[in-house]
Amino acid sequence: MRKIMALENVGPALRGVLARINEAVEKRPENLPKVVPRLVAVSKTKPVEYILEAYEHGQRNFGENYVQELAKKASDPRLHQLSDLKWHFIGHLQRNKCNNLTAIPNLFMVETINSTQLATALNKSWGRTDNKEPLKVMVEVNTSNEKSKMGCGSDDCCSIVNFIIQNCPNLKFIGLMTIGQYNYDWGKHGPNPDFMCLMRCQENVCEKLNMPQDQVELSMGMSSDFDKAILMGSTNVRVGSTIFGERDPTTKKGSTESEEKTAANKDNKSEPEKDEKPELSSNLKKLALA
């Protein structure tokens, strides 16, 4: 009964999220484009039935954190036949898992490139596939400088982006991604400093690499703060529990999740550099004062 009720709630919950997205877009400052952000429905640990239900209600972009879980779902005949379904990989990717990931049908984007070594491995792996179009990628930035989180330091962001553009013909850089602090109190502290940091990274990339701002997306905002992230310029939001409900502790991927996290810590050799918090640009000042 609990599962049936949860499935029945997916459609209304999805519509509610889309309504909040559109409302946030209309409230954006005039200096930000009125572009409707891409909604990535985070389906990790949720069964295929939940994905199918969201798909029936018009959702096409889905996010997964673990290669093994994504591969299993993508191979399900019910999902495999949906040619317009788009998978986003939003978890930490180990270099030795690149071949497994690129073999997954309908892989649309990898949002968590955090080093030139990973970019090189993924570029080679995608080049071995039959895909004719470059794989869309984002560079993940650890804006909160937390050791428990992956991502490059904000000072390294621009060089990784430049490396991808210059040396990875099988990858297409489209933006920057961050997770940021959990349970940040907007009412008490104002605009999220992690989102402000990612916006500074975007400005830095655009300035140093001579790229238009609309060619560098920002993937920031999750269930607890996606509408606020949109107000600050997010073009890609990752929403899970608000659509699918809270994760059931009994369905967590136990050994798989633990093994991938352990390997992720080993794979993340260098600690991100501290963000120097340079003076805000005029656009950021407007947001901070809003």
Instruction: Report DSSP letters for 44-80, one per residue.
Output: TT--HHHHHHHHHTT--EEEES-HHHHHHHHTSHHHH
Q: pLDDT by residue for the chain (290 residues), tens digit each?
A: 455 558 999 999 999 999 999 999 999 998 887 889 999 999 999 999 999 999 999 999 999 999 999 999 999 999 999 999 999 999 999 999 999 999 999 999 999 999 999 999 999 999 999 999 999 999 999 998 888 889 999 999 999 999 999 999 999 999 999 997 877 777 787 889 999 999 999 999 999 999 999 999 999 999 999 999 999 999 999 999 999 998 766 554 443 444 444 444 445 443 333 333 344 444 444 444 34
Number of alpha carbons in the 13 Å side-chain half-sphere of residue 244? 26
The count of other CB atoms within 10 Å of the CB of residue 60 is 16
Paired residues of 86 in beta bridges? 61
Amino acid 250: pLDDT: 56
pLDDT at 276: 36
Q: Which residue has the tokens 């040396």?
A: 167
How far is residue 199's CA from residue 194's CA, in Å, rounded to a whole number? 9
The pLDDT value recorded for residue 182 is 77
Domains and CATH numbers, the chain: 1-239 (3.20.20.10)
The kind and range of the H/E element at 41 are strand 38-42
Q: What is the pLDDT of residue 161?
A: 98
> How far is residue 181's CA from residue 183's CA, in Å, rounded to a whole number?
7
What is the predicted pLDDT for the residue at 286? 46
- State how far the Cα of 82 lies from the Cα of 279, in Å rounded to an integer: 47
CA–CA distance, 71 with 5 (Å, rounded to integer): 27
Q: What is the DSSP letter of 28?
A: S
